[in-house]
């Protein structure tokens, strides 16, 4: 009889402990702002579990917590999360107003979600390093993007699509051949993730050859008059 009484008391204490155990009330989610999410489609993220007794627990990795990623079930509205790294699709990100919802299942509660808002492009500009284009020499179409995070970063063909009124586009260069009669080149650039972001610039083509360059075939450089 005493044995059964002790067992009953033990079970009762266990049930009371489980009833009093704090449960997850909400989750917070952050991303690593030093990972240049403006340009790259993978960023470290961190989760914080906030319990009903106001205690907290953080994931390993970016937040340096003791909760391992392989111990939780986590999903995302865009891409996937592997070992604390969020891999996302930037085109989808633009359609969803740069928001990614992270959902955690399990942890003794119903699924809990929170949303990340990632930085996005708000403007672009050409930043020409030379005021004219030389024939037969590639001219780099330098574009800078301004983001809502306050950062100004260089953009390339991963993010941009280019078109020019003359010459040949080679990657992010424009090449005007020697026999091209264009006096200027109009450059256009579109942001792939949001084609409404568009810029245009006109750069003149240099007419006179540099003094240290040989004249075009069939022409001779004029000589000075003898005294």
Structural domain ending residue among the three candidates 55, 87, 117: 117
Supply the pLDDT for residue 126. Answer: 98
Q: Comparing 73-82, 105-114, 206-215, which segment has the lowest mean pLDDT?
A: 206-215
Residues 125 and 109 in one domain: no
Residues 56 and 125 in one domain: no
Mean pLDDT of 59-74: 94
* Distance in angstroms (rounded) separating the CA atoms of residues 106 and 198: 45
Higher per-residue pLDDT: 68 or 226: 68
Most confident of 6-10, 79-83, 222-226: 79-83
Q: How confident is the prediction for the chain on average, in pLDDT?
A: 87
Supply the pLDDT for residue 8. Answer: 46
Residues 186 and 106 in one domain: no
Q: Is residue 222 part of a domain?
A: no
Confidence of residue 109 (pLDDT cuts 50, 70, 90): low
154 three-state secondary structure: strand
Distance from the Cα of residue 50 to its chain's centroid: 29
Provide the whole-model pTM. Answer: 0.77
Higher per-residue pLDDT: 21 or 3: 21
Confidence of residue 7 (pLDDT cuts 50, 70, 90): very low
Helices (H), 70-214: 90-95
Q: What angle do CA 160, 162, 166 make, to 5 degrees?
A: 165
Domain that holds residue 136: 121-204
From residue 163, give the alpha-carbon distance in Å to each of 39, 129, 139: 22, 19, 13
Supply the pLDDT for residue 115. Answer: 97
Question: In this structure, are residues 154 and 121 in contact, taking their beta carbons and an 8 Å threshold?
Answer: no
Higher per-residue pLDDT: 98 or 213: 98
* Distance in angstroms (rounded) separating the CA atoms of residues 88 and 41: 6
Structural domain ending residue among the three candidates 100, 117, 134: 117
Among candidate residues 138, 127, 135, 102, the one with its CA nearest the CA of residue 117: 102
Question: In this structure, are residues 189 and 119 in contact, taking their beta carbons and an 8 Å threshold?
Answer: no
Q: Is residue 56 part of a domain?
A: yes
Q: Is residue 214 part of a domain?
A: no
Structural domain ending residue among the three candidates 73, 94, 117: 117
Supply the pLDDT for residue 103. Answer: 96
Residue 9 pLDDT more than 90? no
Residues 80 and 106 in one domain: yes
| CATH number of the domain where residue 167 is located | 2.60.40
Both structure tokens of 73: 């079930």
Higher per-residue pLDDT: 70 or 2: 70
Residues 141 and 171 in one domain: yes
Q: Is residue 158 part of a domain?
A: yes
Higher per-residue pLDDT: 91 or 222: 91
Give the total number of structural domains in the chain. 2
Place of tokens 């005294």: 227
């Amino acid at each position: 009889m005493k044995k059964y009484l002790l067992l009953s008391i033990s079970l009762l204490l266990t049930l009371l402990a489980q009833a009093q155990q704090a449960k997850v009330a909400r989750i917070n989610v952050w991303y690593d702002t030093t990972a240049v999410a403006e340009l790259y489609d993978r960023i470290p993220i961190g989760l914080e579990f906030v319990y009903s007794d106001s205690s907290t627990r953080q994931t390993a990795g970016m937040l340096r917590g003791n909760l391992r990623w392989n111990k939780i079930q986590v999903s995302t509205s865009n891409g996937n999360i592997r070992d604390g790294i969020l891999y996302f699709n930037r085109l989808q990100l633009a359609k969803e107003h740069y928001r990614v919802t992270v959902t955690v299942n399990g942890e003794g509660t119903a699924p809990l979600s929170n949303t990340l808002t990632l930085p996005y492009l708000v403007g672009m500009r050409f930043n020409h390093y030379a005021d004219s284009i030389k024939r037969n020499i590639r001219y780099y179409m330098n574009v800078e993007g301004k983001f809502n995070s306050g950062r100004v970063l260089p953009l390339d063909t991963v993010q941009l699509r280019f078109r020019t009124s003359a010459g040949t586009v080679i990657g992010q260069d424009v090449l005007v051949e020697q026999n091209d009669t264009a006096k200027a080149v109009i450059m256009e650039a579109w942001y792939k993730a949001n084609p409404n972001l568009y810029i245009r610039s006109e750069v003149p083509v240099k007419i006179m050859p540099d003094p240290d360059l040989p004249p075009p075939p069939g022409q001779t450089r004029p000589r000075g008059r003898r005294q």
